Structure formats: C-alpha cells, structure tokens
Structure 1
Amino acid sequence: MGQLVTGRPVSLYAAAVLRIGYGLLYLTFLLREFPHRDEIWGPGSPWTPALAQQLFAQTGWTSVLTLSDSRVYFELCYALAVATSVLFMLGWRSRALSCLFAVVVTSFHARAIFMTDGGDNLVLLMALYLVLTACGRRWSLDARRIRLRAARSGAPAQKVRAHNAQQLRDGLATLSTVVHNCGMFVIAAQVCFLYGSAGLYKVQGASWGAGTALHYVLNLQLFQPWPALSHLVDQHTVVISIAGYLTVLLQVAFPFVLFGRLKYPVLVMLLGMHTGIALLMGLPLFSGAMIIADAAFLPDRLYAALPPLCRRAALRMGLRQPASTRTMPGTGSVPAQGTSGESRSKSRSLLPDHDTSAAGLRPGPERR
C-alpha cells in the first residue's frame, strides 16, 4: 500500500484531462456570461459587495471581487479570470496556475453564491483538488517545454550534487508524488460519494420507486429549454420509467464497479444520462462537470493510446501524410540526411510523453 502511494504518480493523463476539461468548461462559462457579468458579479449586481461582505462575515467565504467597488477593478478581475482559465487549460506553469485558477473559481462562486447550483459546486471542489495534483505532467505546455529542452541537450547531464542536496531533492519528489496520489484519490472518492448519495436519496422517494420521477421532471417549465422535445420524450412512458430505474441503479452501483471491467459500460451509460440532462433539462454546466469528473476513472493506458489511434485514423482519411513521405522544406523529394548522433537526438524528441525519461519526469522532482 505504501509503495502505491509513494512509488510513482498515478493517473497523470487523467489529471491532465481534468485540467483541460475544467479549464475549458470554466472558460466557456465566463464567455457565455460575459454580457451579463455586471449583473451577476459586478458593481451593478443587486447583491452588492457590501451585502456579500456581511454574508462572508457569517459564512467564512471570501472573494477578491469584493475588495473594491470600482468597475475598472472588476473588469481587470474578469479579464484575469479568462486569461487564467486559458493558461490553466493549456498547462502553462501549471503549479502556479492551478492555485490561481482555484482562487478565481472560489471568488466568482462566493460573489454570487445564491445563483450557483450543483454544477458550480462540483467545479469549485475540483478546482481546489487539482491544486494537489500534478495535472501539468501530460498534454501541457510544461511537458512540451521539458521534452524540447531534453531533445536539444541530448542525454540528460548527470549533475554532481552534495549528498544532503540529493536527499532533499528525493524527499521533495516523494512528497510531491504522495500529494498527487492523495489528490487523485480524493477526487475519485468525491465522485463516488456524489453518485452514491444521489442514488440513495432517490431510493427514498416514492416517485422514483413508482417510475414516474422523470415524467414530473420533464414537465417542469423551469427546466424545459425545448418544451417540444420534452413533451415528445414524455410520450414514451415505458422508456422514461426504465430510464428512471436505470438512473438509480447506476448511481447506487457506481462505487462498487470501479475495480472491474463493468465500470466501462457504466461510464458509457452515465455519459448518456448526463447528455440527456444537458439537453432535456438545460443544465450543461452540471452535465459537463460530471462528464469530466467521470473521466478520472479511465486508465492512463487508454489515454496514452489515443494519440496513435488519432494519427492512424488521420492517415486512413488522408488528413495526414505518412512520416516516410514527408520532406523537409527546400529539399525537394530527398529526405534530410544526418549523422547517427543527430538521428538519435531526433528520435528522442519524437518519443511519446509517457516514455520520455530524459524529461526529468521520473524519477526526480515533481514538476509540471
């Protein structure tokens, strides 16, 4: 058990997917609400900064948006939030940007806390948890910078360090690994608790037991982005009854199927369920947050296999040329020649991310 926690960082690709997903989701949310930003979070909001400060004194929340009533200050904060979401999604200086992203999400959440829902709460929790993870190790600008640096320098130089300095370096690497693994465990536990509690809560309801809960949900005017579509689905009474029972079964069983292959069809069905919630109930933020959270349970070997699969699919569709037929600029049809040392250096730069030991990813200090 100790080796599992301290041996190596787990689920690095899954952490990268969470970083990209929640960064993109929050960026979309900020851009979507850009025309209404002043009424929701700005000085023109009915929930004024003074009222928010009074609530913070009771609840312990805080927000950088309430530090000033100036419109210029608010616009600067909003621009900073958009830039932070973009850079966090791209994985630029991920260690620092993960902390800044958590501050941004917490500040905007607390400023308009009476307008939040379950999706906002989940994004807030995940933003805080991602601070603990090494979410910039894969599919990020940080990882690309490390690979390019290693490719330019060739084999990594073995620096001579003092014994105490090397021990400190190894200790920091182990500490970072432990914190990352614990962070990923907390994320998984949070999702399991969310599904399990939601399923057990539904079991206690009479409408879910009778199979009529989704019928009432589809007829709520507050959650009808397309009333005609909701009424069309509501006409299939047997289907919506089966969907209701299946929803409860999936949520209750989710924590118990994670250690076998049964989790894959369960995750696919949950994907369909959240897609239906987004379309029929008009809750895209909640559905997106849940779909991204579910991605944490897919193994790294699946994510590592995606780039080769995409390249092969692009070759079949003619969107990408085979590597053997590519030519260097200005060389015509004759490929560039080089020494064996140069070839080895180039081959190292083309190694996939999960095999690049020269990038200082393992062993060594936990870097993002």
Structure 2
Amino acid sequence: MAVDQTSPAYPAPEKADVAPEGITPAGRLRNRFDDVYRLLTRQPLSLYATAVMRIGFGLLYTIMLVREFPYRHQIWGPESPWSPDLARRMFDEYGLFSVLNLSDDPRYFEACYAFALITAVVFMLGWRTRVVSLVFALVMFSFYSRGVFMTDGGDNLAVLMSVYLCFTACGRVWSLDARRHRRHDDGSRPEKPGGIRILRRFTVTVMHNCALVVMMAQMCVLYGAAGLYKVQGNLWNDGTALHYVLKTDSFRPWPALSDFVDGHQVLIGISCYLTVLVQVAFPFSLFSKLKYVLLPILVGMHVGIAVLMALPLFSAVMILSDAVFLPDRFYRAVARKGSALIAAVSPRRAATRPH
C-alpha cells in the first residue's frame, strides 16, 4: 500500500519528525500510533489499485454473464435443477438472500439478468460509483447465493472483494466519475461549507484506507491458510501433489499439455515446494521489497492454474485481488508506457493509411 504523493487533489504528506535520542518505549509507541493515524487519515491510498480492481471485476463479471447467457435458465433461472423452492428453503436455513428468488416469473428473471449485465458494465466504467458499487455487490451476492453449489473459492473471494470495494474511492481515477469531476472543477459549482467538506473528506479517506487494510488482510489470511494447509499434507511434503492434480480428468483441458508438464518430475517437485514456501512467506513480506519478488511468482502460479486446470475465472479473481498490493506509481508507469506506445504506433498507422 503506497501513498500517491503526486496526486493533484491532495497535498504531499509532510515528513515525520525524527524521534529524539533517549525516547521512552511509551513515546515510541505513541509516535508509531501517530504515524499510522496520519497514514490512514491524510489522503486515500492506492487509488489506482482500487480502480484496477473495479475495472477488472466489472469486466470479469460482464464476460461471465455474456458467456453463460445461453445457459442462464439452467444455472440461475427457474429451470435450474436447484429449483427456486429448494433455494428458498436453504436461504431460510442459512440466512442467505438473492433478488432472483423474489419471483418465479421468467420475465422477472430476464429483467434481473439484464439489470445485472448493465450494472457490471456501468461499474466497470465507473459511473456514479458510490451507488453503483453497492448495487454491484448486491447483484454478485444474489447470483452467488442462487447458484452456491456451482461456485468455488474464486466466486467467494469475488463477492467479498465487491463488498470491500463499496467502502473505497475506487471511482476517483480512470472512471467516468473522474472525467465528470475534472469538467466541473472550474469553480462554477458552489462549494459546500468548510466543516462539511472537511468531515466528508475525512470520512471517505478513513473508510477507503481501512477497506484497503481489510482487503490486504483477507489475501494474507487466504495465502497463509492455504500454505499451512498444504504443509500438513503428505503429497505436498514429498513434492507429488501437482502430479496427481495433472492426472485428474476433471482438470485436464489439454491432456497432451498436462502429460508434457507432468513428465518433468524435477520441475513438479520444485513447483510444489515453491508454492508452499511462497504462500506461507507472503503475509510476512508485506512491509519489505520481497513482496515484489513473490507477487510475480503468485501471478505465474495463477496463470498456470488457468491454463492447466481450466480455471480462468478463479485465477483472474486471484490476480485482481493481488493488485491491491502494488503501489500507485506502478500503475501510473504502466499507463505512461501504454500511452507512449499507442502514440508511437498511431502515426505509423496514419502514415501507412491510403489517402
């Protein structure tokens, strides 16, 4: 989590005073608390990271709804083997909820599906994000609850992250909201009274930064628990777990590729030990540059899962959730390089275009 010190909307944070020699432990603790307080309350952190998550989850859910459109009735609709009546009985028992179960009318389901698709697109574009983020979280939870027996850990994490994003300022950059604010920041609109403006900014900043902390903690718990769980298994201890995964028929979209990878036994063993080591070590690397070494390994691991195990949605959710750990300067650098590349390619296309 890094402070965006170049954002024009917020002043750069002042450097903390150097603690004098001979300070007591209580004084050091108080200074540490003051530093954390200033970090959480001065300005929203990682605005670009939350924007990437907003765009990514909106796009991912849009793709999923479009892809499953021909099968929507069998998965979430009235024709599902898990009928609406069975779903209601389960909701009453476990305290779940889904707007899809408010009516059994097929026309109502079609309207809900169209509304969900529109919501995902609008959320991705960042229009009226504060309100739309709440609606998007409700839509994701409704579809998740309606088809809970066909979900996996990726769906569960996506629902959690959509709820956390409701408390962030994920529409502050790379959004239609940001474009609208730039147009209106010409002094033509009357400003709110100073006290209300300060209170609003303070509340938004604290909620945003605390949500970031919760998202990071969620990923640390996920990776740490997964790594510790693997340590307890004999197959991971002897380095053969991935061999059995590659031999499972349900996770072999390309058997020839799976057999080719499985034929490199040393690579399989190294991958097993590296997976456990990285997952256990990642929560302890957050406050060091080691996380910039572990994150690419984790991303590579998720890409391998997507290709070899045919779990692209799960891998995409994990990669998008890992985006919260990258600083804003990384995303700004990527945006600058992308803009420079487009600018370099565009004149060439214009020059080669027939007149």
TM-score in same-fold range (> 0.5):
yes
> Matches of 1:142 and 1:169 in 2, distance apart?
18
Query: Does the 8 A contact of 1:311 with 1:320 survive in 2?
Result: no
Task: Report the AA paired with residue 174 of structure 2.
Answer: W
Partner of 1:334: none
How much has 1:226 moved relative to structure 2?
1.2
Q: What aligned pairs does 1:278-317 form with structure 2 within 5 A after superposition?
A: 278-316=306-344
Would you say 1:129 and 2:164 are equivalent positions? yes
For 1:68, the aligned partner's letter is S
Partners of 2:264 and 2:337 lie apart in 1 by 39
**Following superposition of structure 1 onto structure 2, how do residues 110-125 of structure 1 map, counting pairs within 5 Å?**
110-125=145-160
Pair 204,308 (structure 1): closer, same or farther in 2 beyond 3 Å: same
- Letter aligned with residue 95 of structure 1: R
Q: Deviations for 1:143-201, whole angstroms, at most 9, x for unmatched residues? A: 01111223xx3xx369576xxx4212211211111111111110111011100000000
Q: Structure 1 pair 86/158, CA: closer, same or farther in 2 (3 Å)? A: closer
Kept after mapping to 2: 8 A contact 1:132/1:180: yes
Letter in 2 for 1:281: M
Q: Does 1:207 pair with 2:235? A: yes
Q: Distance in 2 between matches of 1:315 and 1:232?
A: 41
Matches within 5 A, 1:1-368: 1-150=36-185, 153=186, 156=187, 165-316=193-344, 318-320=345-347
Cα distance in 2, alignment partners of residues 157 and 99 from structure 1: 30
C-alpha spacing 1:147/1:53, structure 2 compared with 1 (3 Å):
same
Deviation per CA, 1:238-284: give whole Å up to 9, x if none: 10110111000110011111222221121111111000000111111
More displaced 10-residue stretch of structure 1: 186-195 or 297-306 = 297-306
The residue identity in structure 2 corresponding to 1:62 is F
Bigger relative contact order, structure 1 or 2, given CA contacts below 8 A and separation 6+?
1
1:169–1:160 CA distance, 2 compared to 1 (3 A)? closer
Give the fraction of aligned pairs with identical amino acids, expressed as a percent. 56
CA distance in 2, matches of 1:39, 1:130: 30
Q: Distance in 2 between matches of 1:43 and 1:305?
A: 48
- SS at structure 2 position matched to 1:42: coil
Q: State the TM-score, normalizing by the size of structure 1.
A: 0.83
CA deviations on 1:335-361 (whole Å, 9 max, x unpaired) are xxxxxxxxxxxxxxxxxxxxxxxxxxx
Instruction: Please name the residue that 2:18 is paired with.
Output: none
CA distance in 2 between counterparts of 1:270 and 1:64 reads 35
Q: Could you tell me which amino acid in structure 1 is paired with residue 324 of structure 2?
A: A
Q: CA deviation at 1:312?
A: 2.3
Matched residue type, 1:291: I
Name stretches of at least 5 consecutive residues in structure 2 with no aligned partner.
1-35, 349-355
Give TM-score, length-normalised by structure 2: 0.85
The code of the aligned residue for 2:106 comes to R
Distance 1:33 1:267 in 2: 31
Helix, strand or coil: the match of 1:132?
coil
Amino acid at match of 2:160: L
Q: What is the CA-CA distance between 1:320 and the residue it aligns to?
A: 4.5
| Contact 1:199–1:251 (CA under 8 A) maintained in structure 2 | yes
Contact 1:61 1:110 in 2 (8 A): yes
- For the residue of structure 1 that corresponds to 2:346, the secondary structure is coil
Q: Aligned partner of 1:264: which letter?
A: Y
